[in-house]
Amino acid sequence: MVSRPAVSEPKKPKKPYDIKKADLHLDEYIAEQDSRSPKILLQRAYTHLRSSRQFHSYLALQFVAALIGYGQPMLVVGLLWAMYVNTGKRKEGEMSAYSLFNEGVEA
């Protein structure tokens, strides 16, 4: 007589990975998303402009230029200055926008 092995219940497939809630760092993610909210960004911008010497200097020069009759050219100069000041330097190893799309560095 051949004995049959006992029939066991089919095994549940194992998950390929086990993620625990603590491993997700949800609190940090929520804090980062909250820090990007428009209300907080506007508050930061307002605080920065309030304490910025360059912005106060620009406002004074804009007022004087408007009195003289050169308000619009001063506005253009101010916008160009703001663009220049806010262009940053790349960190070491960071790709430029050009090299991002030109992987082989070809002409």
**Predicted confidence (pLDDT) per residue in 2-33, tens digit:** 566 566 666 766 665 666 666 667 777 777 77
**Spatial separation of the C-alpha atoms in residues 32 and 37, rounded to whole Å:** 9
CB 61 within 8 A of CB 74: yes
pLDDT of residue 85: 85
| Dihedrals phi, psi of 22, to nearest 5 degrees | -65, -30
pLDDT in tens, 36-95: 778 888 888 899 889 989 889 999 999 999 999 999 999 999 999 989 888 877 778 777
And the tokens for 7? 């029939």
